[in-house]
């Protein structure tokens, strides 16, 4: 009866342990995912700070300061949320490990009681004479054989119980060690969040002060932003025309019956290149070695001035002063176009795809060059309006504008 009772308790205990271990494994995977996201946010904030430190001696417009603060506030808010989720997950893991330890202690108690009972029984009949008498008292050879097997099984069972006690004791010690570390990790996260929240409050106060200053001269700042958008639209229109003209000229050269500027008539080699480019969607390298996206593709509202929206046909990437742009994929330089303000735009064709790199100087390539992956194109110029070193990067298929974030890894 005692053996059956023990077996039932042991099964329940093992099942409970399996459930806890499975849950903790799942949470550990989530914890790793959260930690990866937290590190990514911290790196992005560090990158932003490095860029600010580079430009700290240069005058930066109040609008740029507000945009920077808006970015920092969003990043820090996300960081606080992720850290909170990590701390909450650790709390659950700690509670589950406490339950696991309690279950292990109960199982150890059962194992030790059962093992102690076996030792007591074994002690009563431990003499070699009693074992021999037990065998000699058998009524038949068959019964003696069965008793011999029983004695072996009993000895093995004792050994197994002893090993189980050692294993459970070791697991209990490991769980306790992990629990201590989890509590330390949680304390670190809580301390980090306390610092982050204090910094966030200061950034919000600074942003509010800048916004009040902007509102005093809202018409002037609105005019600045609209002027910047007109310049962006003019450059986009120029890029559109260059690509349309390139398609028309290429089709005429290929002897295509129609000189449409809607799409390229591709050679077999160009079809192959286009397919290779397409297969690398989401895997392309960044067009700068280090940088962060400050304006994304499409329409976006200004963080402080109501009614002001910007439309972007690519992405704007801020990098450090003196940084260079690089080709994200192999292709041919079809055009190098000088833009207003002395900057240039480099067009690289990949079959019926284009990657376009705007705001360059000291160009390292020339029209007709076959460009290799990662090849340097030129130095990125500093933007006079914002005081930042900004590359505008676009992806097109024929005349269609594509979102670079869909093509570049981690953008």
Same domain, 70 and 27: yes
- For residue 362 the two structure tokens come to 């000291």
Q: Given a cut of 50, is residue 2 above it in pLDDT?
A: no
77 within some domain: yes
> Region 135-150: what's the mean pLDDT?
68
Q: How confident is the model at residue 4 (pLDDT cuts 50, 70, 90)?
A: very low
* Cβ neighbourhood burial of 407 (10 Å; 0-12, 13-18, 19+): buried
Q: Given a cut of 90, is residue 169 above it in pLDDT?
A: no
The structural domain count of the chain equals: 2
Read off the pLDDT of residues 202-241 as tens digits, 9 standing for 90 and up: 999 998 898 888 888 878 878 888 888 888 888 888 899 9
> Region 133-138: what's the mean pLDDT?
60
Read off the pLDDT of residues 40-73 as tens digits, 9 standing for 90 and up: 888 888 888 877 776 655 556 788 888 888 889 9
Backbone angles phi, psi at 295, to 5 degrees: -135, 130
Domain residues for the domain of 302 are 224-406
The pLDDT value given to residue 82:
94
Range in 6-10, 34-38, 180-184, 385-389 the model is least confident about:
6-10
Q: How confident is the model at residue 194 (pLDDT cuts 50, 70, 90)?
A: very high
Same domain, 151 and 279: no
Same domain, 282 and 314: yes
The pLDDT value given to residue 6:
43
Read off the pLDDT of residues 328-362 as tens digits, 9 standing for 90 and up: 999 999 999 998 767 999 999 999 999 999 999 99
- For residue 325 the two structure tokens come to 């742009």
Read off the pLDDT of residues 276-311 as tens digits, 9 standing for 90 and up: 999 999 999 999 999 999 889 999 887 777 777 888
Q: Given a cut of 70, is residue 321 above it in pLDDT?
A: yes
Last residue of a domain, one of 216, 248, 274: 216
| CATH code for the domain of 232 | 2.70.70.10
The pLDDT value given to residue 5:
44
60 within some domain: yes
Q: Given a cut of 70, is residue 392 above it in pLDDT?
A: yes
Same domain, 210 and 228: no
Same domain, 14 and 64: yes
Q: What average pLDDT is seen over the chain?
A: 82
Last residue of a domain, one of 193, 216, 239: 216
Read off the pLDDT of residues 93-104 as tens digits, 9 standing for 90 and up: 888 888 888 887
> Region 263-271: what's the mean pLDDT?
88
> Region 266-270: what's the mean pLDDT?
90
Q: How confident is the model at residue 315 (pLDDT cuts 50, 70, 90)?
A: very high
411 within some domain: no
Kindly calculate the radius of gyration of the chain based on its CA atoms and give it in whole angstroms: 35
345 within some domain: yes
Rounded to an integer, what distance in angstroms lies between the CA atom of residue 200 and that of residue 44? 16
Same domain, 289 and 394: yes
The pLDDT value given to residue 1:
43
Same domain, 267 and 176: no
Read off the pLDDT of residues 399-411 as tens digits, 9 standing for 90 and up: 999 999 999 999 9
To which residue do tokens 């290429």 refer? 250
Same domain, 208 and 239: no
Same domain, 248 and 201: no
Same domain, 256 and 368: yes
Q: How confident is the model at residue 147 (pLDDT cuts 50, 70, 90)?
A: low
Q: Given a cut of 70, is residue 189 above it in pLDDT?
A: yes
61 within some domain: yes
3-state secondary structure the chain: CHHHHHHHHHHHHHHHHHHHHHHHHHHHHHHHHHHHHHHHHHHHHHHHHHHHHHCCCCCCCHHHHHHHHHHHHHHHHHHHHHHHHHHHHHHHHHHHHHHHHHHHHHHHHHHHHHHHHHHHHHHHCCCHHHHHHHHHCCCCHHHHHHHHHHHHHHHHHHHHHHHHHHHHHHHHHHHHHHHHHHHHHHHHHHHHHHHHHHHHHHHHHHHHHHHHHHHHCHHHHHHHHHHHHHHHHHHHHHHHHHHHHHHHHHHHHCCCCCCCCCCCCCCHHHHHHHHHHHHCCCCECCCCCCCEEEECCEEEECCCCCCCEEEECCEEEEECCCCEEECCCCEEEEEEEECCCCCEEEEEEECCEEEEEEEEECCCCCCCCEECCCCEEEEECECCCCCCEEEEEEEEECCEEECHHHCECCC
Last residue of a domain, one of 175, 193, 216: 216
Say which residue, 13 or 410, is predicted with more confidence. Answer: 410
> Region 108-125: what's the mean pLDDT?
69
> Region 314-341: what's the mean pLDDT?
93
On the CB side of 87, CA atoms within 13 Å amount to 15
Say which residue, 328 or 163, is predicted with more confidence. Answer: 328
Same domain, 311 and 179: no
Say which residue, 408 or 247, is predicted with more confidence. Answer: 408
> Region 71-76: what's the mean pLDDT?
91
The pLDDT value given to residue 389:
92
Same domain, 105 and 158: yes
The pLDDT value given to residue 395:
98
Q: How confident is the model at residue 27 (pLDDT cuts 50, 70, 90)?
A: low
231 within some domain: yes
- For residue 135 the two structure tokens come to 């065998």
Q: Given a cut of 60, is residue 253 above it in pLDDT?
A: yes
57 within some domain: yes
194 within some domain: yes
75: Cβ contacts below 8 Å, ≥ 6 apart: 41, 44, 45, 48
Share of the chain above pLDDT 90, in %: 37
């Amino acid at each position: 009866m005692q053996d059956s009772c023990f077996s039932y308790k042991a099964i329940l205990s093992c099942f409970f342990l399996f459930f806890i271990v499975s849950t903790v494994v799942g949470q550990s995977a989530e914890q790793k995912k959260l930690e990866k996201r937290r590190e990514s946010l911290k790196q992005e904030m560090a990158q932003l700070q490095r860029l600010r430190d580079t430009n700290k001696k240069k005058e930066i417009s109040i609008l740029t300061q507000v945009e920077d603060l808006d970015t920092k506030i969003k990043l820090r808010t996300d960081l606080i949320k992720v850290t909170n989720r990590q701390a909450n997950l650790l709390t659950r893991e700690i509670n589950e490990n406490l339950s696991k330890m309690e279950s292990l202690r109960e199982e150890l108690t059962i194992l030790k009681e059962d093992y102690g009972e076996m030792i007591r029984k074994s002690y009563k009949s431990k003499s070699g004479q009693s074992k021999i008498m037990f065998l000699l008292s058998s009524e038949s050879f068959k019964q003696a054989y069965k008793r011999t097997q029983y004695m072996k099984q009993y000895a093995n069972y004792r050994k197994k119980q002893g090993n189980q006690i050692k294993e459970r004791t070791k697991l209990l010690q490991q769980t306790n060690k992990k629990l201590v570390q989890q509590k330390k990790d949680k304390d670190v996260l809580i301390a980090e969040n306390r610092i982050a929240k204090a910094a966030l409050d200061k950034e919000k106060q600074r942003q509010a002060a800048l916004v009040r200053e902007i509102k005093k001269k809202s018409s002037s700042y609105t005019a600045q932003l609209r002027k910047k958008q007109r310049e962006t639209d003019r450059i986009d229109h120029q890029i559109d025309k260059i690509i349309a003209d390139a398609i028309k000229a290429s089709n005429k050269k290929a002897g295509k019956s129609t000189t449409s500027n809607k799409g390229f008539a591709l050679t077999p080699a160009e079809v192959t290149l286009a397919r290779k480019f397409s297969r690398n969607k989401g895997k392309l390298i960044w067009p700068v070695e280090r940088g962060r996206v400050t304006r994304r593709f499409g329409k976006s509202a200004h963080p402080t001035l109501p009614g002001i929206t910007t439309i972007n046909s690519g992405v704007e990437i801020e990098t450090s002063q003196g940084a260079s742009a690089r080709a994200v994929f192999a292709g041919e330089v079809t055009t190098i176009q000088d833009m207003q303000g002395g900057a240039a735009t480099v067009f690289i064709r990949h079959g019926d795809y284009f990657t376009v790199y705007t705001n360059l100087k000291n160009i390292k390539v020339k029209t007709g060059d076959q460009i290799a992956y990662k090849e340097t194109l030129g130095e990125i110029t500093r933007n006079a309006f914002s005081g930042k070193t900004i590359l505008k990067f676009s992806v097109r298929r024929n005349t269609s504008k594509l979102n670079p974030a869909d093509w570049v890894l981690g953008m």
